[in-house]
Amino acid sequence: MNAPALETRRLVLRAFTERDLDALFLILRDKEANRFLPWYPVESLEETKAFYEGRYAPLYALPQAYAYAICLKEEGCPIGYINVSMEEHHDLGYGLRKEFWHRGIATEAARAVIERVKRDGMPFVTATHDRNNPRSGGVMRNVGMRYRYSYEEQWQPKDIPVVFRMYQLNLDGVESRVYRGYWDNSTVRFVEKGVYAAHRPGTSMAKLTAR
Ligand SMILES: CC(C)(COP(=O)(O)OP(=O)(O)OC[C@H]1O[C@@H](n2cnc3c(N)ncnc32)[C@H](O)[C@@H]1OP(=O)(O)O)[C@@H](O)C(=O)NCCC(=O)NCCS
């Protein structure tokens, strides 16, 4: 099933459509809200349409994908987005218009999407955030994800070095699994002390750091 609609106390999560381009423009044009994202803020409706056609329409053509518009029940139109990738990292990503920050909306949306992908058999989700964007890590922790490691990447298309923190939540009971893709692809990778992580025996990064 592709982007099966989800409902929470305050939100409806559903697929974007071409009718949402005005709302998507408001989400994508804000410089601050798009600073830590792998694209530049859009400057026009045409660019928004190209964004939709390049990043959403192909996902909606797949048999299964989780790419959602976040809508407040009371307003109806999208105020943000949340996605879980079907690629091997199963990356969770989200963003909201700035006017809607600090109300627990990203956390509420992420809980619903994670519950759904778990029900659909996804074994785990990961998420990464620039360590200069710690509020995003707050959302990850709010939904039970745990910090696993950090790695540096020459980040595109902005072409700047970024240290990312990688969080993971295993959904199938295999507690010891750590997704290694980012670790293996980076020459600068390490485990930061002091990043909150409720380590349990057998689930630490010992296996990675011992290499
Ligand atoms: C990141 C973002 C989605 C958070 O949305 P939000 O709905 O405000 O987040 P929530 O309220 O659900 O959860 C964040 C909460 O985590 C908690 N938190 C826990 N640890 C935290 C920490 N170290 N730093 C900040 N917040 C932390 C806080 O309670 C925080 O809420 P508050 O700032 O209102 O007190 C939003 O700021 C955004 O759209 N940013 C731009 C896009 C972006 O950066 N996306 C993520 C890319 S990795």
Domain boundaries, the chain: 1-122, 123-211
CA-CA distance, 202 to 211, in Å (whole number)? Answer: 16
The tally of CA atoms less than 13 A away on the side-chain side of residue 23 is 17
Please report which confidence band the pLDDT of residue 194 belongs to, taking 50, 70 and 90 as the band edges.
confident
Token digits of residue 101: 């920050």
CA-CA distance, 124 to 177, in Å (whole number)? Answer: 9
Running DSSP on this structure, what letter comes out for residue 101?
A: T
For residue 58, is the peptide bond before it cis, meaning its omega torsion is within 30 degrees of 0?
no
Please report which confidence band the pLDDT of residue 28 belongs to, taking 50, 70 and 90 as the band edges.
very high
pLDDT at 209: 47
Q: Determine the atom of ligand 1 nearest the C-alpha atom of 110.
A: 12
pTM above 0.75, yes or no: yes
209 vs 57, residue with greater confidence: 57
Please report which confidence band the pLDDT of residue 75 belongs to, taking 50, 70 and 90 as the band edges.
confident
Superfamily of domain 1-122: Gcn5-related N-acetyltransferase (GNAT) (3.40.630.30)
Q: Which residues line ligand 1 (CB under 6 A)?
A: 33, 36-37, 94-96, 101-107, 129, 133-139, 141-142
State the distance between the two ends of the chain, measured CA to CA, in whole angstroms: 40
Q: Which whole number is the average pLDDT over 118-146?
A: 97
User: What distance in angstroms lies between residue 207's CA and the mean position of ligand 1's atoms?
Assistant: 30
pLDDT at position 12 over 90:
yes
